[in-house]
Chains A and B, each alone.
Chain A
């Protein structure tokens, strides 16, 4: 395989990655804030693939004699940044998740208590209301299913 085909393949792969990421953002499958690091990674790859002298210059600059090693170093650095970014996102999500779960549970308890207080206030009504309440809760879903 000639040097040219190698570069063409490298450029094609990097372009594909960049295109995929942009498309995912466009379709809103990937949020912009998570896309930034991915974009940086793919642009970096594209630069290294397209600009012939960059990798050699970069590796000699930091004293790496074998240019592909410099490529791995760059790739590894970007991967680490991405992984750390994900860990941060997961931590934040699980924190949010905890707060939401707690508040949901407390709200549910309040609703239950208020329901009990209501039925205690009007014990005769509650027996009539309770079954109606059930069917009332089901009705909208049945209706929406019927519409489909």
Chain B
């Protein structure tokens, strides 16, 4: 736990990919160039194209799900890998190149420097720069609703709950390896952390429009997405009581070890 900040900390970049053969190699190479401290793990979610071969050729470690499990199942596989291989820090990045790995350093600094924070999310909406890419107006409206709801529930400021660029420490890695939401996991993951008394914060980032392929959430499915996630939030609230093991974790290896690094 106290390793996070040091150069010896084991750091993993998890890149879930489903039929991203055209973009995956570039994404992997970019992470390896711009964030050389991070091992790159590509979780191929049962792709039918050459995603796996491209990822391996680009120098990533590959975990290949034989059957498509959806983004939630793929992400969780990454966290399981991080758990099994004893990583101190994991960051998730999209396979389509929307996330610029140059921000990893900033995310890491924030994770290490802020005591008690278990996850740092890269937010597109924290800075007020209108020029940056922030997806369509309809989607922004949806994001704002989620942000409002989650801010109310967690009592923290959440501006970009759907951002897939997020860095986690050991406690959050273990939580996600054990339990991770299914279909559209980003929003629910923030709630899951809150339920288990883990804390997250945001740092401003800019994202790029995707270069290839299509977003997992097409516009006609947005309504379903909204409903499903709001239902998940409502039900998630009814499961407020955390399981005891995470409480133990938080009391034994919690903020104290983090403050020793930052201090």
Contacts and interface: CB of A to CB of B under 8 A. Distances in A.
A28 B218 CA distance: 44
A97 to B, nearest CB: 7
B223 interface: no
A98 B63 CA distance: 14
Contacts of B144: none
A97 B80 contact: no
Interface residues of B, number: 15
B69 A106 contact: no
B123 interface: no
Given A106-B77, A106-B81, A109-B81, A101 B66 contact: yes
Nearest to A102: B77
A104 interface: yes
B63 A109 contact: yes
A105 to B, nearest CB: 5
Contact of A98 (B73, B81, B84): B73
A108 interface: yes
Contacts of B66: 101, 104-105, 108
B83 to A, nearest CB: 10
A62 to B, nearest CB: 33
A101 B65 contact: yes
A102 B76 CA distance: 8
Nearest to A107: B63
Interface string A107-125: 0110011000000000000
B62 A98 contact: no
Contact of B80 (A102, A108, A112, A113): A102
A117 to B, nearest CB: 13
Interface string B56-80: 0000011111110100010011001
A97 B69 CA distance: 9
A111 to B, nearest CB: 12
Interface string A89-103: 000000001100111
A102 B84 contact: no
B65 A105 contact: yes
A98 B185 CA distance: 15
A44 B76 CA distance: 45
Nearest to B68: A101
Contacts of A102: 65, 69, 73, 76-77, 80
B67 A106 contact: no
A30 to B, nearest CB: 26
Contacts of A98: 69, 73, 76
A47 to B, nearest CB: 38
B243 to A, nearest CB: 17
Q: Please provide the 4 A-B residue pairs with the shortest distance between their CB atoms, ordered closest to farther.
A: A102-B77, A109-B63, A105-B65, A105-B63
Interface of B: 43, 61-67, 69, 73, 76-77, 80-81, 84
10 contacts: A101-B65, A102-B65, A102-B73, A102-B77, A105-B63, A105-B64, A105-B66, A105-B77, A106-B63, A106-B81
Given A102-B76, A102-B77, 6 more contacts: A98-B69, A98-B76, A104-B66, A106-B84, A108-B64, A108-B66
